[in-house]
Amino acid sequence: MSVLEASDLTVPDRLHGVSAALRPGEVTAICGPNGAGKSTLLACLAGLLAPAAGEVRLDDAPLAALRPRERARAIGFLPQDGEVAWDLTVEALVALGRLPWAAPAAENRAAVAQALATLDLSRLAKRQVSTLSGGERARVLLARVLAGSPRWLLADEPLASLDLAHQLALAGHLRAQAAGGAGVVLVVHDLALAMNHASRVLVLSNGALAADGPPEQALAEEVIARVWSVRARWLGEPGARALVAG
């Protein structure tokens, strides 16, 4: 089974000996207060940041030993900024996800068409990116990652800056990827989103792992009080929880 495993990751001033074995088929949310090291951990897992100590292993081989293109085929990464420098068409942008593959053109086209269809974007294929709404743009950027058919999908705050309907839709797409066998790892700021959509939550506090487990456990009220120094209560049913302060 494909496993992405961090052992004793240390990045000066950011992470202090974080270990976690991530499994495919799960949506793992990385939570924590500002500056806790969430994005740093994600960048290490994606192979974009070399830790000062410790290592990340993919399927029992050190990630650092993989050639960049091999790593890129296995791990898709969606950064937070969502930058697109040129006004590409949706189709051309999504096709960038195929760059790590030296595949025949027909195969690339099929993968792009499938990624567009998966995220319900086929009718936007010829549109310029600049004409899209925020929600459409977020889906297009996710489709870019899916087009590379990575076994691991790592995303930094993919749900931030989306309205409720788009958050739910995109979270649904991410869960579907996990259900299809991919490993999904997300940095999530909004604890209710993590609670409702993740199957596992890692809580970071000051660069160290403060909790790791199913959301009900890792985001229990006492953990929130300890890590965020906020007294808060969960309301609602499992899968539709809301967090209220006080």
Partner 1 sequence: MTRPALILILALLLTVPLSLLAGRVWIDPLHPVIANATVILVDLRLPRAVLALVVGAGLGASGAAMQGYLRNPLADPGLFGIAPGAALGAVCAFFFGYASQGVLLPVFALAGAAGAMALLALIAGRTGSVALFTLAGMMIASLAGALTSLAISLSPNPFALSEIVTWLMGALADRSWHDVAIAAPPTALGLALLWLAGRSLDALSLGEAAARSLGVEPARLLWLMVLGVGLTVGAGVAVAGIIGFVGLMVPHMVRPFTDRRPSSLLVPSALGGALLLLVADAACRVLPLEGGELRLGIALSLLGAPFFLGLLLRMRKGLA
Residue ranges in contact with partner 1 by CB under 8 A: 43, 46-48, 67-73, 75-79, 81, 83-89, 92-93, 96-97, 99-100, 144, 148
Classified as helix, coil or strand, 26 is: coil
Beta strands in 103-182 (DSSP E): 152-156
Cβ pair 228, 245 in contact under 8 A: no
In order of 97, 119, 180, the CA distances from 68 in angstroms are 14, 27, 25
Q: Least distance from C-beta 81 to partner 1, angstroms?
A: 6
Question: What one-letter code names the amino acid at 230?
Answer: V
Between 89 and 149, name the residue whose CB sits nearer to partner 1. 89
Q: Least distance from C-beta 102 to partner 1, angstroms?
A: 10
Q: Least distance from C-beta 179 to partner 1, angstroms?
A: 23
Rounded to the nearest 5 percent, the helix, strand and coil shares of the chain are 40, 30, 35
Cβ pair 147, 78 in contact under 8 A: no
Between 132 and 218, name the residue whose CB sits nearer to partner 1. 132
Between 65 and 242, name the residue whose CB sits nearer to partner 1. 65
Q: Least distance from C-beta 234 to partner 1, angstroms?
A: 34
CA quadruple 149, 10, 82, 99: dihedral sign: negative
Between 3 and 48, name the residue whose CB sits nearer to partner 1. 48
Q: Least distance from C-beta 157 to partner 1, angstroms?
A: 13
Between 183 and 215, name the residue whose CB sits nearer to partner 1. 183
